[in-house]
């Protein structure tokens, strides 16, 4: 794979070690930015903003203009896939997403897919790709099938995904059909993002940590491996980052068995342990606690230094262990950027 030397993050995804490390922040295009809140107020609901390609492109670009991250993450949502599969999607203020009909009570055959709902997202990708600085890597994404399925089955987020886990144990054939439908569309969705202009893609499996080892193997590793293999057939030079939040000790099998090119670490993972357990030279991404970024000061500086030292022996993309929080001070993100520009001592 030939990687442009002017894209540091893409170079790291191809296996290069860079010091200082390139960085981007999960949910960096969002509520902590005053320019985002201003645009959101003008445009209305969250889903309206996602489907307004020009506005979504603007949101994607806002943190790059302000902070100069090495990576831009597409502004969208993992629930665009169930929406396109035929579930109604709405976001309730203060409560989060709601999907209907819920698949704990209804069948996939009751849904009428509408893949045109994804067209505005592809247009967002084209607009952003044409506007990013040459050195910025453009990241597309989708939700991991397990995580997306938890919303489709329950109709909303939950603390322990119990309803979905019950269905997976009680009727694995029916649940497997849901996973297969999500995975099939995810392959086409990510492939279309790549065709439209993203440089790499990430699979967010935000609820992977709720599964037992055997269920993790069945509902996280196996479908992820299928998605990665299909994407590699279509786009052999496009890196895939996997982020199985909460996987803990299952990170090693996930990294070895899914075919991903790089792995995201959440904030609960000891980066020194991860460096020992992960395949040699696999790029790692992460894993600053979002609350350490809010704290700032010496606590932030110490945490940043610890992560950089622990992962200095492998390709490393600096990131948070999960999404940036809405009350994060802008000055702390600026301080993080400046810390990361310094060589590791």
Q: Which of these is catalytic: 32, 52, 77, 261?
A: 77
Residues 296-305: contacts with CB under 8 Å, at least 24 apart: 296/329, 296/331, 296/332, 296/335, 300/332, 300/335, 300/336, 300/339, 301/339, 304/336, 304/339, 304/340, 305/344, 305/345
Q: At what angle do helices 53-67 and 34-43 cross, to 10 degrees?
A: 170
Q: Assess contact for 128 and 136: CB atoms under 8 A.
A: no
Alpha helices in 106-238 (DSSP H): 119-129, 145-154, 162-170, 172-196, 213-216, 222-234
Distance, CA of 115 to chain centre: 21
The verdict on whether 256 is a catalytic residue reads: no
Q: Which of these is catalytic: 32, 36, 151, 189?
A: 151
Q: Round the CA-based radius of gyration of the chain to a whole number and report it.
A: 19
From 58, 36, 50, 44, select the one nearest 79 (Cα to Cα). 50
The verdict on whether 301 is a catalytic residue reads: no
Considering Cα of 312, then 326, then 145, then 137, what sign does the dihedral take? negative
Q: At what angle do helices 162-170 and 172-196 cross, to 10 degrees?
A: 120
The verdict on whether 169 is a catalytic residue reads: no
Could you give the C-alpha distances from 161 to 129, 170, 189, in angstroms and in order?
Answer: 36, 14, 25
Residues 92-101: contacts with CB under 8 Å, at least 24 apart: 95/156, 96/156, 96/157, 97/151, 97/156, 97/157, 98/155, 98/156, 99/151, 99/152, 99/155, 99/156, 100/155, 101/155
Q: Which of these is catalytic: 36, 40, 199, 289?
A: 40
Q: Which of these is catalytic: 17, 31, 66, 309?
A: 31
The verdict on whether 254 is a catalytic residue reads: no
The verdict on whether 171 is a catalytic residue reads: no
Burial track 299-317 (b if 16+ CB lie within 10 A, e otherwise): ebeebbeebbebbeebbbb
Q: Which residues form the catalytic set?
A: 27, 31, 40, 77, 151
């Amino acid at each position: 794979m030939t990687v442009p030397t002017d894209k540091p993050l893409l170079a790291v995804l191809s296996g290069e070690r860079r010091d200082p490390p390139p960085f981007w922040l999960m949910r960096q295009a969002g509520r902590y930015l005053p320019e985002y809140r201003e645009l959101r107020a003008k445009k209305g609901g969250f889903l309206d903003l996602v489907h307004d390609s020009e506005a979504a492109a603007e949101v994607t670009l806002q943190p790059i203009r302000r902070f100069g991250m090495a990576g831009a993450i597409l502004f969208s949502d993992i629930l665009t896939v169930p929406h396109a599969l035929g579930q109604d999607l709405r976001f309730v203020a203060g409560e989060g997403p709601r999907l209907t009909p819920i698949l704990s009570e209804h069948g996939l055959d009751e849904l009428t897919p509408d893949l045109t709902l994804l067209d505005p997202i592809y247009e967002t990708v084209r607009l952003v790709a044409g506007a990013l600085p040459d050195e910025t890597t453009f990241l597309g994404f989708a939700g991991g099938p397990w995580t997306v399925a938890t919303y489709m089955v329950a109709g909303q987020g939950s603390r322990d995904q119990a309803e979905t886990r019950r269905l997976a144990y009680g009727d694995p054939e029916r649940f497997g059909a849901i996973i297969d439908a999500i995975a099939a569309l995810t392959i086409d969705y990510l492939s279309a993002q790549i065709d439209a202009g993203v440089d790499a893609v990430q699979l967010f499996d935000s609820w992977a940590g709720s599964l037992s080892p055997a269920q993790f193997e069945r509902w996280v590793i196996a479908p992820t491996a299928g998605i990665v293999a299909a994407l590699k057939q279509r786009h052999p030079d496009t890196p895939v980052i996997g982020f199985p939040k909460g996987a803990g000790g299952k990170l090693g099998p996930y990294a070895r068995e899914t075919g991903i090119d790089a792995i995201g670490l959440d904030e609960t993972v000891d980066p020194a342990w991860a460096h020992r357990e992960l395949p040699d030279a696999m790029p790692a991404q992460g894993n600053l606690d979002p609350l350490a970024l809010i704290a700032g000061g010496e606590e932030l500086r110490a945490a940043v230094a610890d992560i950089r030292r622990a992962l200095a022996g492998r390709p490393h993309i600096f990131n948070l262990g999960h999404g940036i929080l809405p009350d994060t001070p802008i000055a702390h993100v600026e301080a993080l950027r400046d810390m990361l520009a310094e060589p590791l001592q």
